[in-house]
Amino acid sequence: MTPLIILTLVLMWQFVLLGYTFTLAGNAADEAVRAGTAVPEGERNAACTQAGLDKLPGAWTGEVDCATSGGYVTATVTLRVPVLFPGSIGFPFEVEGHAGAVEEVKD
């Protein structure tokens, strides 16, 4: 019975990490797009990317892609889901968080 209980706990912990990764990706995308809307277009990509990466804990690494189209700024954050321990190896699939907002600053 003990191995079954341990296996159940490990699977539950892995699902917690999956959910937390989705939360981190969404929050980082929100922060990235918020920063991207508040700066002129020439500085937007750098500000957006930096803000998205700043909101990630050290154990989660990812990519932030920012784009502007028709006065609308979007950010996509892509993270890998860690296996059992943050900072260790990741699963072969990625989690994405998306956000968008209307730009506030005109050039």
pLDDT 10s digits, 22-60: 999 999 999 999 888 877 777 778 888 888 888 788 777
For the chain, what are the domain ranges? Answer: 2-102
> What's the CATH fold of domain 2-102?
Pantoate--beta-alanine Ligase; Chain: A,domain 2 (3.30.1300)
The pLDDT of residue 106 is above 70: no
Q: What is the pLDDT of residue 4?
A: 92
Of 31, 97, 105, nearest in space to 68 by CA: 105
